[in-house]
Amino acid sequence: MITLRKSADRGHADHGWLKSFHSFSFADYFDPAHMGVGNLRVINEDRIAPGTGFGTHGHRDMEIVSYVLSGALAHKDSMGNGTAGGAHAGVILPGDVQRMSAGTGVRHSEFNHDAAQTTHFLQIWILPQRNGIEPGYEQKHFDAAAKRGRLALVASSDGRQGSVTIHADAALRAGLFDGAERAELALDPARIAYVHLVRGSLRVNDQPLRGGDAARLDHESALVLEGGEDAEVLVFDLAP
């Protein structure tokens, strides 16, 4: 069974400095029919105006993945990332996948320091397999060649194939498709596949999607992506 979620049906917030589309209930947007999918709780498509950002705030017991589409996102946290001498510089660029495990609690900020360019990124929250873990941070780059015409594994529960490690029963793949490029992925019918089209257009099991649209697949054994036009897509494998 395939259930479509159109871009125009998402929640929307315009704070001036921040323009955001919410796939699931978040902040002032509440829709009891869209509280998440499986253990996927948040997909926010955010645009941060030049010279602005999220001030320091806290999270706990959540796996948070950031996926930058354009511009740069400067991250600074209570674990020391983004500070002089920190383990990570904390600047997230297009092609980067950042994972922050909030665990017992972490505070961080996210800013667009560019004076002219808007930062466009996806903020993704996934429920962890267990609460109370030690907070952690990881960041890896996946260039366009790794995603061109295929689904590259960018996040998984065991860090396989060079993906970032999320402490959740989930996997995330990313792909770029145009023209004749096509990919097929075997699915476990007992799990949920959730396809979020970041931009462009694409056919998902013969269903046409445009940028911002999504498709939930239940009890399906295969995912077929084809007919792309400048398409960038994320595919989630989720616990039901």
pLDDT tens readout for residues 112-162? 999 999 999 999 999 999 999 999 999 999 999 999 999 999 999 999 999
List pLDDT tens digits, range 29-81: 999 999 999 999 999 999 999 999 999 999 999 999 999 999 999 999 899 88
For the cut 80, the answer to whether the pLDDT of residue 88 exceeds it is no
- pLDDT score recorded for residue 90: 78
Domains, the chain, in order of start with CATH, read 2-238 (2.60.120.10)
As a whole number of angstroms, the distance between CA 191 and CA 28 comes to 30
Neighbouring residues of 69: CB distance < 8 A, sequence distance ≥ 6: 94, 120, 121, 122, 198, 199, 232
Whole-prediction pTM value? 0.96
Model confidence band, residue 188 (pLDDT cutoffs 50, 70, 90): very high
User: Residue 83: pLDDT band by 50, 70, 90 thresholds?
Assistant: confident
